[in-house]
Amino acid sequence: MNPIRVSVYEDNDTLRESLSYLIMGSEDMELCGAWSDCAKVMENCTLFKPRVILMDIDMPGISGIEATSMIKAVFPEINILIFTVFEDESKVFDALCAGASGYLLKKSKSIQILEAIVELHNGGSPMTGEIARKVLEFFSRPTSKKKNEYTLSDREMDILKCLVNGESYKKIAENCFISTSTVCTHINSIYRKLHVNSKSEAVIKALKERLVG
Amino acid sequence: MNPIRVSVYEDNDTLRESLSYLIMGSEDMELCGAWSDCAKVMENCTLFKPRVILMDIDMPGISGIEATSMIKAVFPEINILIFTVFEDESKVFDALCAGASGYLLKKSKSIQILEAIVELHNGGSPMTGEIARKVLEFFSRPTSKKKNEYTLSDREMDILKCLVNGESYKKIAENCFISTSTVCTHINSIYRKLHVNSKSEAVIKALKERLVG
DNA sequence: ATGTCAATCAGTAAAATTGTTGATTTTTAT
DNA sequence: ATAAAAATCAACAATTTTACTGATTGACAT
């Protein structure tokens, strides 16, 4: 079994060295570079061909999340493990959307880091239970919000669904068997309740907050 | 510390009994019911007030996923741990969308089951690395499309971004320092390339296919 | 050099959307 | 019984969006 080629990006010198020694000390892994910023990240990937990258988020210059996007666009086969102190939802999502395959907090123990690298390389996605919960909430949260936050009536929900189908007033009137005036009235109520002022804004809000299925 | 009240739904008699003994044997937990189907699931939750439910998917009558939806709608505070042989993507997503907070495979070891229950109760979301990977792929997959599928020009992308910000022609004209006529021309090109016929449709397509960040 | 193409800009008229006011009927809550 | 909320309809003015026509620029191949 060939050792897993691992690169590290971490701007804290002490931590970067600790990680480097940790990886070098493992029989299953091989360190192929450790950098304090992502300035030459694409070049490095081309030259050193890592299979796994340990990536800090907060670094001078290019952030770890930006770097993740860049790397995955060109080297989709490289698995990127985010290694950070941030545990707020937006950072987690940004990182995962950028293409990271794992998310580890810096408070993790050495053995956990090594296990995570191996798991990542084997096609798994290591993350702590708390991070996983945040990710899962993404799926179930909309359902809870969906309910009553804006207290749209049944009919208004019907109309809103038509709106996110891209229908015009006329089409909605036909589909719902009402006059365009009534459509206008309902849509006005929707705007008022959603605090928006145009069809597009209503559609955007409905889609982003998953008000409709 | 009070023991964690756990219920079990599993139609295989042998397995259900094993799980029951496993939970009863743990000092941190208390078994409050084990059933072979979900016929009386709501009633049971009301009477026995479990904090965690171990839920099989494939059962006669109501499926574990349907039961999960029903339970979460009324008892959102109950944490549900799916326990199944299925590892296909659709089942995983259905379960998570229904509100499950963890997903365990039946090949798991006893100690992992107990750990998962504790982690779930502490606000984590236990799942295997493979399951986590499936979940994460949900986030990064759409990004690949993002590129050039519709060959929008740079300027057209600018305008499209304005559109999904909910801006009117006038606002776009101001922001981009062009006349509203020009905005109109660009938007026409966008419609042609995206095969749509209105602002809303363009916004919907841009959001659903993640054409903009 | 010349023609083609894509991207950019603009003006006008037609069509769709939005604001506003006002009214009737049905359902729901008190 | 009465009040409040929801759904329906109408009409007019104001604004926004869309269609259509035409022009300029720069890149690029012939």
Determine what percent of chain A is predicted with pLDDT higher than 90. 46
Q: Are A84 and A57 in contact (CB under 8 A)?
A: yes
Specify if B125 maps to a domain: yes
pTM for the whole structure: 0.69
Shared domain check, A118 and A25: yes
Helix (H) or strand (E) holding A72: helix A64-74
pLDDT of residue B144: 40
Proximity of residue A150 CB to strand C below 7 A? no
Q: Can you give the pLDDT of all 213 residues of chain B as single tens digits?
A: 789 999 999 999 999 999 999 999 999 999 999 999 999 999 999 999 999 999 999 999 999 999 998 999 889 899 999 999 887 878 888 898 888 999 999 988 999 999 999 999 998 888 887 888 888 877 765 544 455 577 788 888 888 888 888 888 888 888 888 888 888 988 988 888 888 888 999 899 888 887 876
Residues of B in contact with A135 (CB under 8 A): 125, 135-136
Shared domain check, B64 and B103: yes
3-state helix, strand and coil shares in percent for chain A, rounded to the nearest 5: 55, 15, 35
CA distance A20 to A104: 16
pLDDT tens column, A95-118: 988 899 999 999 889 999 999 999
Check whether A82 has a pLDDT greater than 50.
Answer: yes
What are the CA-CA distances from residue B136 to residues A118, B28, B124, B147 (Å)? 17, 32, 17, 20
| Count of CB atoms situated within 10 Å of the CB of B134 | 21
Nearest to B208 by CA among A91, A191, A166: A166
* CATH code for the domain of A178: 1.10.10.10
| Count of CB atoms situated within 10 Å of the CB of A61 | 12
Q: Which of B110, B138, B166 is the last residue of a domain?
A: B138
Shared domain check, B132 and B69: yes
pLDDT of residue A141: 60
SS (H, E, C) A122-134: CCCCCECHHHHHH
Helix (H) or strand (E) holding A82: strand A79-84
At B84 the three-state DSSP class reads strand
pLDDT tens column, A129-174: 788 888 887 776 654 444 557 778 888 888 888 888 888 888 889 8
Proximity of residue B185 CB to strand C below 7 A? yes
Instruction: List, as one string, the DSSP characters of B24-78.
Output: HT-TTEEEEEEESSSTTHHHHHHHH--SEEEE-SS-SSS-HHHHHHHHHHH-TTS
Proximity of residue A179 CB to strand C below 7 A? no
Shared domain check, B87 and B42: yes
Q: How many helices (H) and strands (E) does chain B have?
A: 10, 5
Give me the residues paired with residue A52 across strands.
A6, A79
Residues of B in contact with A204 (CB under 8 A): 164, 166, 203, 207
* Number of domains composing chain A: 2
Closest amino acid to nucleotide D5 (CA–C1'): A153
Shared domain check, B119 and B58: yes
Which one is predicted more confidently, B142 or A183? A183
Specify if A143 maps to a domain: no
D26 C1' to A122 CA distance, Å? 52
pLDDT of residue A132: 86
Q: How far is CA B85 from the centre of its chain?
A: 19
CA distance B140 to B142: 6
Instruction: List, as one string, the DSSP characters of A24-48.
Output: HT-TTEEEEEEESSSTTHHHHHHHH
Shared domain check, A19 and A110: yes
State residue B29 phi and psi, 5-degree precision.
Answer: -130, 165
Strand-pair category, A79-84 with A102-105: parallel
pLDDT of residue B40: 94
Specify if A49 maps to a domain: yes
pLDDT of residue A213: 65
| Count of CB atoms situated within 10 Å of the CB of B137 | 14
Q: Catalogue the long-range contacts made by A97-101 (C-beta closer than 8 Å, 24 or more residues apart).
A: A97/B139, A97/B140, A97/B143, A98/A65, A98/A66, A98/A68, A98/A69, A98/A72, A98/B140, A98/B143, A99/A68, A99/A69, A99/A71, A99/A72, A99/B140, A99/B143, A100/A55, A100/A65, A100/A68, A100/B136, A101/A125, A101/B133, A101/B136
Residues of B in contact with A98 (CB under 8 A): 140, 143
pLDDT tens column, A28-67: 999 999 999 999 999 999 999 999 999 999 999 999 999 9
Q: Two tokens at B151?
A: 């060959």
CA distance B10 to B17: 9
Shared domain check, A178 and A113: no
Shared domain check, B127 and B197: no
CA distance B122 to B125: 9
Specify if B148 maps to a domain: no
Instruction: List, as one string, the DSSP characters of A103-158.
Output: EEETTS-HHHHHHHHHHHHTT---B-HHHHHHHHHHHHHHHHHHTTTT---HHHHH
Shared domain check, B123 and B42: yes
Q: Is the dihedral of CA B100, B105, B109, B110 positive or negative?
A: positive
Specify if B143 maps to a domain: no
Specify if B145 maps to a domain: no
Shared domain check, A161 and A131: no
Interface of A with B (CB under 8 A): 72, 93, 96-101, 119, 122-130, 132-133, 135-136, 139-140, 143-144, 163-166, 168, 196, 198-201, 203-204, 207-208
Four-point Cα dihedral B45, B49, B52, B56, nearest 10: -20
Shared domain check, A93 and A197: no
Domain hosting residue B192, numbered range: 154-208
pLDDT of residue A144: 42
Q: Which of B100, B125, B200 sits opposite A199 (nearest CB)?
A: B200
Shared domain check, A100 and A183: no
Residues of B in contact with A123 (CB under 8 A): 129-130, 133
Q: Which of B138, B162, B179 is the last residue of a domain?
A: B138
3-state helix, strand and coil shares in percent for chain B, rounded to the nearest 5: 55, 15, 35
Specify if A213 maps to a domain: no
Specify if A127 maps to a domain: yes
* CATH code for the domain of A125: 3.40.50.2300
